[in-house]
Amino acid sequence: MRVGMLTSGGDCQSLNATMRGVAKTLYNQRKDVEIIGFIEGYRGLIYEDYRIMKSKDFSGILTNGGTILGTSRQPFKLMRVPDENGLDKVEAMKNTYKKLKLDCLVVLGGNGSQKTTNLLRQEGLNVIGLPKTIDNDLWGTDVTFGFQSAINLATQTIDCIHTTAASHGRVFIVEIMGHKVGWLTLHAGIAGGADIILVPEIPYDINKVAAAVNKRAKEGKRFSIIAVAEGAISKEQAALSKKEYKKYIATRQYPSISYEIGAKISELTGQEVRVAVPGHMQRGGSPCPYDRVLSTRLGAAAGKMILDGEFGYLVGMKNNHIAKIPLADVAGKLKMIQPDDEMVQEAKLMGFHLEINCKWHIQHYTANGVLPDLKM
Ligand code: F6P
């Protein structure tokens, strides 16, 4: 039995732990398993760049962040576009699969990557997807691996900022990763005790943010912490068309939304404001214990599915149980924070002003006209 494996898109802490889960299960259950690791994601599959893995390659990697196979971003929208030498990438991937006589291809990837996995499924390949992303925005699974480790790091950042903000009596903006969804910001913001949380799904009113900062100051609170997702948008920006919004991003005079919010808050409140951006640190380091367990479970489940010949699924979690979600259902959808999400309701109870506007997201981010199931 020959199984191909690749890690695609932005990395995260628990990729190696997940591959190890798949590999250990396969090696343990069958003697004739050979695993082919493609280098740098779909690039390796397209250009036949691979390594024949050995059981020892998967040993000692549970706690190692990053990916032993390397990764790259190969945008889904360019998959049908020939490369600079006229190569048809989809045909090339199919040829590599056939040439290597693979029985299955396992793809560890996020939203964009799983769209390509589904494309390969439609093209007749046996595929299995595993949900990687610190953003936790893959549709159909409650959790993705990498998310919890990133929450830990983002929370640690807010914790560190807390002490210095309190000493100096400053307003701090902490920018958390997540261009399209705010799960990481919402979780880290709550865990770190941020006073205001701004996520892409809830366009903010800068005057209300400033009022909340002023209110805290009036109550004698010497500092405020605002957790801002990198994709946070104001109500005015949310009202723009996709084209107008792109133009605004291209011409924005600030390095990111946090600096823009910082400048406005400083102007509106007269308080001293600082911005902290942990950036890619949130994807780095060792996977946390939760992710190690999650990855091992997902990997083992994927291994069993390969042995049972069950293909075409994303292996995810539903209510703490392994779930097999058809890739056809997953592709092109985003799991966003919903208005009726319990965490949102709880945050509201504690005084956050939250307004969900998912329409904006549907307009800007859904692929192929497929709308996300808002009731997921
Ligand atoms: O998808 C994961 C993610 O970390 C997002 O949160 C972030 O916006 C993006 O990747 C950053 O991408 P890159 O590594 O290409 O800069």
Q: Does ligand 1 come within 6 angstroms of the Cβ of 133?
A: yes
Least confident of 81-85, 187-191, 285-289, 336-340: 336-340
What is the residue with the minimal CA distance to atom 12 of ligand 1? 10
Query: Is it the case that residue 356 has pLDDT exceeding 60?
Result: no
How confident is the model over 241-288, as pLDDT tens digits?
A: 889 988 998 999 999 999 999 999 999 999 999 999 999 999 999 999
Among the atoms of ligand 1, which is closest to the Cα of residue 230? 8
CA quadruple 93, 96, 97, 99: dihedral sign: positive
Contact 55, 23 (CB under 8 A): yes
Ligand 1 atom nearest to CA at 111: 1
pLDDT tens readout for residues 178-200: 999 999 999 999 899 999 999 88
pLDDT of residue 182: 92
DSSP for 267-306, please give it: HHH---EEEE--GGGGG-SPPPHHHHHHHHHHHHHHHHHH
What mean pLDDT is predicted for residues 22-33? 97
Supply the mean pLDDT for the chain. 92
For residue 262, what pLDDT is reported? 97
Query: pLDDT tier at 341 (50, 70, 90 boundaries)?
Result: confident
| Closest C-alpha to 7, from 177, 131, 149 | 131
Quote the pLDDT of residue 183.
94
179 CA → ligand 1 middle, Å: 8
Amino acid occupying residue 280? H
Which atom of ligand 1 approaches the CA of 231 most closely? 8
Q: Which atom of ligand 1 is nearest to the CA of 180?
A: 8
Cβ–Cβ < 8 Å for 130, 102: no
The catalytic residues are: 135
Say if ligand 1 is within 6 A of residue 110 CB: yes
Q: Could you tell me what percent of the chain has a pLDDT over 90?
A: 82
368, pLDDT greater than 60: no
| pLDDT tens string 277-334 | 999 999 999 999 999 999 999 999 999 999 999 999 999 999 999 999 999 999 989 9
**Smallest CA separation from ligand 1 atom 5, residue:** 178
The predicted structure's pLDDT at residue 318: 96
Ligand 1: centre distance to CA 11 (Å) = 8
- Specify the pLDDT at position 352: 60
Q: Is 10 in the pocket of ligand 1 (CB under 6 A)?
A: yes
**Token pair listed for 301:** 């489940």
Q: Which residues pair with 345 in a beta bridge?
A: none
The conformation of residue 371, written as its DSSP 8-state character, comes to P
Contact in structure between 189 and 172 (CB atoms under 8 Å): no
Query: 10: pLDDT confidence band, cut at 50, 70 and 90?
Result: very high
Identify whether the C-beta of residue 131 lies closer than 8 Å to the C-beta of residue 298.
yes
* 110 CA distance to ligand 1 middle (Å): 10
pLDDT of residue 97: 98
- Ligand 1 atom closest to Cα of 178? 6
Residue nearest to atom 14 of ligand 1 (CA): 10
Give the pLDDT of residue 351: 66
Write down the pLDDT at residue 271.
97
Nearest-CA residue for atom 15 of ligand 1? 10
pTM for the model: 0.93
Catalogue the long-range contacts made by 316-322 (C-beta closer than 8 Å, 24 or more residues apart).
316/131, 316/138, 316/140, 316/141, 316/142, 316/143, 316/144, 317/141, 317/142, 317/143, 318/141, 318/142, 319/142, 320/142, 322/297, 322/298
Write the pLDDT tens digit of every residue in 195-250. 999 988 888 899 989 999 999 999 999 999 999 999 999 989 988 888 998 899 89
For a ligand 1 pocket test, name from 133, 134, 177, 183 the mutation site with the most ligand atoms within 8 angstroms of its C-beta.
177
CB 135 less than 6 A from any atom of ligand 1: yes
Among 115, 135, 144, which residue has the most ligand 1 atoms within 8 Å of its CB, making it the best to mutate? 135
Buried b (16+ CB within 10 A) or exposed e, 331-346: bbbbbbbbeebeebee
Q: How far, in Å, from the CA of 16 to the mean position of ligand 1?
A: 18
Q: Whose CA is nearest to atom 10 of ligand 1?
A: 10
- Beta carbon of 177 within 6 Å of any ligand 1 atom: yes
| Measured distance CA(190)–CA(94) in Å, rounded | 45
SS3 call for 12:
coil
Q: Tell me how far the alpha carbon of residue 275 lies from the centroid of ligand 1, in angstroms.
A: 19
Residue 24 sits at the vertex; the CA angle it makes with 18 and 26, to the nearest 5 degrees, is 105
The CA 177 to ligand 1 mean position distance, Å, reads: 7
Distance 34 CA to ligand 1 centre (A): 32
Tell whether ligand 1 has an atom less than 6 A from the beta carbon of residue 80.
no
CB 136, CB 68: distance < 8 Å: no
